[in-house]
Amino acid sequence: MKINNIFSRDSLSFKNDFGHVLVVGSSYRMPGAGVLCANAAIRSGAGLVTFAFPESAYPVIAKNIKPEIMLFPLKDKNGEISGRCIKDILEFIKKRKITSLVLGCGAGQNNNVNKLITSVIKKYDIYVIIDADGINSLKKEQQNGIIKKFLNAKAKIIITPHPKEFERISGMHYSSGIFFRRKAAKTFALNNDIICVLKGHKTVVSDGRGVYVNDTGNAGMATAGSGDVLAGIISAFVCNKNKNLMRKVASAVYVHGLAGDKAAAEKTQTSLIASDIIDNIASAIGSIKFI
């Protein structure tokens, strides 16, 4: 797979050319998930990144977020983003011309996440990456592997389940075999008109037509927050003006794994943590040969 043109930049570019990512996530109990996602997005080339989170988590988030990232604290309920803030988020997306949106990282399993997903995908033609608690919020909606609101969405939807999350939203009994995983990701993507990133050893990416099986990454990446980092990388890569969305998502998965390989070489697989992957994104991108 040629991914070189994902990283090319015109010398006359400015930050708006590389998109504005909005990460909506975290909670009082899990402040780090959204932080990892937002930090990965800015390191992966997004022109602008804004992080929306419940204001009760501000003290922890402010200490760990990259200084280049803009903060959007929101009113919360029980340490999670309040449903009253959905209107504020929708207005922000329109006003700030958001290019891609990540929903779910550490947001908590409440109905507000589901309501926000529904509102955004119906209203805006943007890239929407649904991860973690965003995926879990959809589990009661699937019928025979179809989530009906995806079929008439304006948004371009990318969903990033790990095996158990995939079982919940697809209705399929998961098998680790690569032939099952290829077919399952392709079927789910085709039936829902989305891109499915089925995470795990040799992560599978499909848009319902083609299938990409990743060959980077290692067992050390089976650690808390690794998926949040991947969602952040995807959110930045889809902002690239290359029109092939499947290629952009597959490229993000490749770079995520390559950064993980570099991190493991330095820290060992046993000691690798998600923030080590972020620290190696630049090295991973820099090691890809341009032709």
pTM score, whole prediction: 0.97
Angstrom distance (rounded) from CA 274 to CA 105: 14
Q: Residue 54: phi, psi to the nearest 5?
A: -70, 135
Report the chain's terminal Cα–Cα distance, integer Å: 12
All domains in the chain, ordered by first residue:
15-285 (3.40.1190.20)
pLDDT over 60 (residue 2): no
Q: In whole angstroms, give the CA distance from residue 235 to residue 38.
A: 9
Q: Is the model's pLDDT at 158 over the cut of 50?
A: yes
| DSSP label at residue 174 | P
Mean pLDDT of the chain, nearest integer: 95
pLDDT tens digit string along 103-127? 999 999 889 999 999 999 999 999 9
φ and ψ at residue 117, rounded to 5 degrees = -55, -50
pLDDT band at 291 (very low <50, low <70, confident <90, very high): very low
CA distance 233 to 218: 17
Dihedral (Cα; 57, 90, 154, 135), 10-degree rounding: 20
Report the percentage of the chain scoring pLDDT > 90: 92
Digit-coded pLDDT (tens) for 256-274 = 999 999 999 999 999 999 9
Distance CA 114, CA 135 (A): 9
Whether 69 and 49 have beta carbons less than 8 Å apart is answered as yes
